[in-house]
Structure 1
Amino acid sequence: MKPEQKTLALIFALLGWFAIIAQFVLMLQNRVTFLPETITRFFSFFTILTNIMTAVFFTTQALGKRKYKAGALTAITVYITIVGLVYQVLLRHLWAPTGLQKMVDELLHSVIPVLAIFYWYRYEDRHHVLYRQIAGWLLYPLAYLVYILIRGHFSGFYPYPFVDVVQLGLGQVLINAFFLFILFGVIAVLFIFIGKRVKKID
């Protein structure tokens, strides 16, 4: 791995961990429920879980501790791109954070996704990523959906309005989830398609 790649990975990892930790602290400071429930809710957001996944990836790249197979970075980039897209289209208008919360919000939903796409473009072994890998990539959002539906059934807490069974009903939530899975698939196909056709610029 080139020194410049490790340096970029380190910078991206530090930004990611700063945003995650800062968001955790902010959530604790503004909590409206008991501490264990607040912590559980924090780790119930797809945004947080995916940013943690991305930060872990960048950390291992910076430390040179693990070599990933072709497709791993693409999968992570697809996940974090979905985080950014869904936020910009469906969630941004729901609140107007200020101060540190605004900075953290932009890092988690805008900056980190863009950095991940840049890193993917520069360092993924894009020509060896296969379309058949997409099915495996969908297991993560599927497991997440199952988790939040089961937990929401018992706790009454749903992390996003488009999966709120109490407000929308299970049928509508499953329809929303279906279209989100379609989005996952389309974005994954686009990344692979574009990756195989666009040349790297060194």
Structure 2
Amino acid sequence: MKQKTEIIGMILGWFAILAQFILIIQNRQADIFETIIRFFSFFTILTNILVALYFTTKVFHLSRFPFNGFRKKGALTAITAFIFIVGLVYQVVLRNIWTPTGLQFIVDELLHTVIPLFVLFYWYLNSTDSATTIKSLMKWLLYPIFFLLFVLIRGHFSGYYPYPFLNAIEIGYQQTYANVGIIFGIALTVMSVLLTIEKIIIKNKPSL
């Protein structure tokens, strides 16, 4: 059952990412090189890639660098926290900004709703396989830190920001930094909640 779930997660993840890549190329508003950079400037895309890589690592039992990082303590919980944030921010902040149709609608729902819920369900069933520690989770915070630095530095020089709440040109740097603080606050809160739930699950898990 677990292996089948991981195969489904891998297929869903790569399908959504590749389909979104094709769609953004077809509907590009800049040259191909700039469009590709913009594609990888979205936290949604990068986090879904992490999800797809995680399940790929599990399905094919990959253990060498760089896949070994997905097998360490805290990896599943951290990735679950990040993809949960993707879904949460989209539902609360971004859903009403646009109304995709056709294949874009399907891909959009996969990236922001289906996959986040799928990963959360998988985490609930399998998080106790490798008990998470606070230290192991903190290392994963480097991911959003580097992402935000990249977006803000590149946005300063290019004028392009993937999300309106990070657009320092339009909302100002003070509000942007405040939004960054909120994002990190949400990330720490979600991680703390998942860690607490995991400990409760382990505590109440019947011994064999």
Decide: shared fold, TM above 0.5: yes
- Gap regions ≥5 residues in structure 1: none
Scaled by the length of structure 2, what TM-score is found?
0.91
**Matches of 1:128 and 1:52 in 2, distance apart?**
23
1:5 paired to 2:8: no
Measured after TM superposition, the shift of residue 69 of structure 1 is 2.2
Measured after TM superposition, the shift of residue 85 of structure 1 is 0.4
Amino acid in the other structure paired with 2:61: G
Measured after TM superposition, the shift of residue 130 of structure 1 is 1.6
1:70–1:125 CA contact under 8 A, matched in 2: no
1:178 paired to 2:181: yes
1:51-94 Cα distance to aligned partner (Å, 9 max, x none): 00100100111112237122110011011001000000000010
**Matches of 1:8 and 1:97 in 2, distance apart?**
28
Scaled by the length of structure 1, what TM-score is found?
0.94
1:104-141 Cα distance to aligned partner (Å, 9 max, x none): 00000001011111111111236721223332222111
1:98 paired to 2:86: no
Alignment match, 2:153: 150
**Matches of 1:180 and 1:46 in 2, distance apart?**
12
Alignment match, 1:79: 82
Which runs of structure 2 are paired with 1:100-139 in the superposition (5 Å)?
100-125=103-128, 128-139=131-142
Residue 113 of structure 1 aligns to a residue in which SS?
Answer: helix
**Matches of 2:57 and 2:122 in 1, distance apart?**
14
Which runs of structure 2 are paired with 1:15-94 in the superposition (5 Å)?
15-66=12-63, 68-94=71-97
**Matches of 1:56 and 1:133 in 2, distance apart?**
19
**Matches of 2:83 and 2:114 in 1, distance apart?**
10
2:17–2:49 CA contact under 8 A, matched in 1: yes
Equivalences, count:
198
- Gap regions ≥5 residues in structure 2: none
**Matches of 1:144 and 1:95 in 2, distance apart?**
24
**Matches of 2:30 and 2:62 in 1, distance apart?**
39
1:129-182 Cα distance to aligned partner (Å, 9 max, x none): 122333222211111000000110111000000000110111110000001100
Residue 62 of structure 2 aligns to a residue in which SS?
Answer: coil
2:75–2:137 CA contact under 8 A, matched in 1: no
